[in-house]
Amino acid sequence: MKKIVFIIIITVCLAGLRSKAQTNTPCLIPIPSDIKMGSGSFVFDRITNIWFNSNDIELKKVIQPFVVQFCKVTNYKIEENNKLLISNSTIDILITNRADTLGEEGYCLDVRKNNISIKAANYAGIFYAFQTLRQLLPKEIESKTKVTNNIKWEVPCLTITDKPRFKWRGMLLDCGRHFMDKDFVKRYIDILSYYKMNRFHWHLTEDQGWRIEIKKYPKLTEIGAWRIEADGKRYGGFYTQADIKEIVAYAADHFITVIPEIEMPGHSVGAIASYPLLSCTGLPINVENNWGVFKDIYCAGNDSTFAFIQDVLDEVISLFPAKYIHIGGDEAPKYRWEHCPKCQARIKNEGLKDEFELQSYFIKRIEAYLKTKDRSIIGWDEILEGGLAPAATVQSWRGVQGAIHAARTGHDAVVSPTSHAYFDYDVKNLDLKKVYSFEPIPDSLTEEQSKHILGGECNMWTERGPQDQVDNRMFPRMLAMTEALWSLPQNKNYDAFYNRVQKHYNVLNIMGVNYGYEAQPITIKTTYDKTTNSFAVTFIPGQPNLKFFYTIDGSQPTMSSNQYNTPIIFSKSGTMKAAAFLEGKQVGDIFERNIIVSKALGKKVTVKYPYSRNYIANGDLTLTDGIKGSNEFADRMWQGYEKNDVEAIINLEKPEMINKITVGFLQFSNAWIFMPEYIEFYVSDDGDNFRLIETIKNDVLQNESKVIVKDYICIPKDLTSGRYVKIRAKNIGKCPPWHAGAGGDTWLFIDEISVE
């Protein structure tokens, strides 16, 4: 049954992009509000006449790119308003007074055998109608040069009435961590607009680089735009004001508003390295060459800091016409402010409660300044802490709670939670299907409050995404995001979307987009069998038609290894390595898991302090599920405890001899994850009275910058038995003073407890 459905959908899609235009629904992304299919098709003549109000210079500008591209690729002609021309193909463009139904960006596209009619209330709608037309034409219409194949340039007869669900459909590009060429940015504007996205959120200032020329403060780009990498190489770059004007104008031609982000008070090392007096200490520091969150932030006690920021914003405003300026506001450690006499004096003089209210004071002061320039601020959800600025818009990233709070208190919000919108995350943590399921309006909002949700964004942070990696993180996930933001929920269907995506790869190929995977090629599910104390590993493919090969002896899997057909049964510990292949080529990385079969396997674990909702791993089963965490903290095998200690009791169900207890921890100090201060191992017969068997003190250096995974092993000196095993691991509590996040709450990451 399923197969039949699949075949039907594929056929439908072929009809769209290959334009065997008959009665089938075409492969449009995002899916329009309403499509009514006609019969037959509109075939472009060697000369097509396009009709529009020739006095309308703006309208001509919107039409031109299509005309130029079409003529270049087809070698056909499109004549404008030629009264003498007799042609079997005409296109009529009309700005109508239908704003009430089509909205600011909506359009109506009516394709009949000899005529295409495009109507919209605004130029944006006309622009989007042309994007739809591009998707209806044979894919070769996107070619860079004339197409020599004999292609019938036709479009299926249909009527589309379409408008976006949300008015804010954005992409963030972080050009701070990695600088992106001007042409690369313009290429993204092209692709975004092709998929009807309309906001380009340009992250321009960071700890690792200041990327925007500010004439009054030349050191920002002489010093702040450059960092010395660990290998000694100088890395950097910046956009001149001329570059920025060019990009902003280019975006405007593509109906994209550029929202600049100038980070404050945190993520400001680039600026402080250029002008050290902006910080609390005033001491010289370097532009960062590490990723993370850093304690040197703008001093909130210095009026000269505000004077500097206002000067910067003056120049920013002159370059960016958008109503909104993004002021960041996220991840600003309060350590320096806590120890700065000027910041403390500000807290006292302004009657503020603490450093969070000082941050709120900071943001409100900037908002008030921008208001005098007729601009509004948008900031990450941390701007809620200590009190939200009066008219601020909130960009919710730590879940949707920030958006809910904003909407309930009458503020607008843009929604881009890490769970669905962080495209820097690997597909194994955020796959195409998950992005597609993104619903920007949180459930708990009333209809009235929902009006404050302006839309959403996909965020392309670039710590791990230099320019040549951006495409494979953005695609195909961006296609899911645009449909989540443009299309009506009742028109969404993942299977149908998935099939449209398969066809869009043809267009992306022509556009030269180096798209990545839809999902991690391999994920696994395990089932525990109590009677044999073994478990079965089932592979779940991330995309169709993959073949899996695996080893359990530690060797690298190839196509000559065991082929996976049925679940793999483990009755003793071992290492499983697996690889996915598509048409003889390996897809994705080798998938590796250490399997632990011990007396603890599958046994019930009770934890005293809760683990973080963001790092639940396999929930209550995590610590005895038989799979050990890898050296990636976000592999969904590690369970994370923020601030809390870990206290876990395993019920072995019957008295057992206990010769060895092993527990794994991970340290990654850049992510504020540290080894425990010490670990205590206990045993009990009744689950109430525990005997301390051993305390192991941590000996891993806290200031190691790389990821460390370590097993702590307790081997009881005396003969020991018991029915319950307890592990207590002490969280160090606060990031040490030398750490970039000094004073911030630390994490424990634990996985797999085994008992032998």
Binding-site ranges for Zn ion (CB under 5 A): 280, 299, 301, 340, 342-343
CA 135, 140, 146 angle in degrees (round to 5)? 135
Helix and strand totals (H; E) in the chain: 19, 35
CB of 301 to Zn ion, least distance (A): 4
Q: Which is nearer to ligand ACM, 429 or 684 (CB)?
A: 429
**Six-digit token pair at 338?**
């806590």
CB of 300 to Zn ion, least distance (A): 6
Angle subtended by helix axes 467-474 and 477-486, to nearest 10: 60
Answer yes or no: are the C-beta atoms of 328 and 174 closer than 8 Å: no
Query: Among ligand ACM, Zn ion, none, what binds residue 331 when CB lies within 5 to 8 Å by partner kind?
Result: ligand ACM
Site for ligand ACM in 378-417 (CB under 6 A): 380, 397
CB of 418 to ligand ACM, least distance (A): 7
Q: Which is nearer to Zn ion, 362 or 486 (CB)?
A: 362
What type of residue sits at position 497? F
Helix (H) or strand (E) holding 347: helix 341-349
Query: Among ligand ACM, Zn ion, none, what binds residue 342 when CB lies within 5 to 8 Å by partner kind?
Result: Zn ion
The C-alpha atoms of residue 336 and residue 670 are separated, in whole angstroms, by 18
Q: Which is nearer to Zn ion, 38 or 276 (CB)?
A: 276
CB of 305 to Zn ion, least distance (A): 8
Q: Looking only at Cα atoms, what is the longest distance across the chain?
A: 104
Q: Which is nearer to Zn ion, 20 or 342 (CB)?
A: 342
**Helices marked H in 90-181 — which ranges?**
99-102, 123-136
Q: Which is nearer to ligand ACM, 184 or 291 (CB)?
A: 291
Answer yes or no: are the C-beta atoms of 266 and 297 closer than 8 Å: yes
Query: Among ligand ACM, Zn ion, none, what binds residue 340 when CB lies within 5 to 8 Å by partner kind?
Result: Zn ion
66 contacts ligand ACM (rule: CB under 6 A): no
CB of 379 to ligand ACM, least distance (A): 9
Query: Among Zn ion, ligand ACM, none, what binds residue 280 when CB lies within 5 to 8 Å by partner kind?
Result: Zn ion
Q: 107-111 and 115-120 as β-strands: parallel, antiparallel, unpaired? A: antiparallel
Q: Which one of residues 330, 338, 632, 642 is an interface residue with ligand ACM (CB under 6 A)?
A: 330
Query: Among ligand ACM, Zn ion, none, what binds residue 127 when CB lies within 5 to 8 Å by partner kind?
Result: none
Binding-site residue total for ligand ACM (CB under 6 A)? 4
Taken as a whole, the chain contains a residue count of: 756
Q: Which is nearer to Zn ion, 339 or 405 (CB)?
A: 339
CB of 381 to ligand ACM, least distance (A): 8
Helix (H) or strand (E) holding 396: strand 393-396
The C-alpha atoms of residue 284 and residue 278 are separated, in whole angstroms, by 10
331 contacts ligand ACM (rule: CB under 6 A): yes
The C-alpha atoms of residue 24 and residue 40 are separated, in whole angstroms, by 11
CB of 306 to Zn ion, least distance (A): 12
Q: Which is nearer to Zn ion, 382 or 518 (CB)?
A: 382
Answer yes or no: are the C-beta atoms of 393 and 414 closer than 8 Å: yes
Query: Among ligand ACM, Zn ion, none, what binds residue 386 when CB lies within 5 to 8 Å by partner kind?
Result: none
DSSP string across 661-716: EEEEEEEBGGGTB---SEEEEEEESSSSSEEEEEEEE--S-TT--S-EEEEEEE--
Site for ligand ACM in 352-381 (CB under 6 A): 380
The C-alpha atoms of residue 664 and residue 669 are separated, in whole angstroms, by 16
CB of 588 to ligand ACM, least distance (A): 25
The C-alpha atoms of residue 307 and residue 314 are separated, in whole angstroms, by 11
x-marked contacts with ligand ACM along 559-598 as a string, rule CB under 6 A: ----------------------------------------
Query: Among Zn ion, ligand ACM, none, what binds residue 28 when CB lies within 5 to 8 Å by partner kind?
Result: none
Answer yes or no: are the C-beta atoms of 308 and 216 closer than 8 Å: no
CB of 361 to Zn ion, least distance (A): 12
The C-alpha atoms of residue 261 and residue 257 are separated, in whole angstroms, by 13
Binding site for ligand ACM (CB under 6 A): 330-331, 380, 397
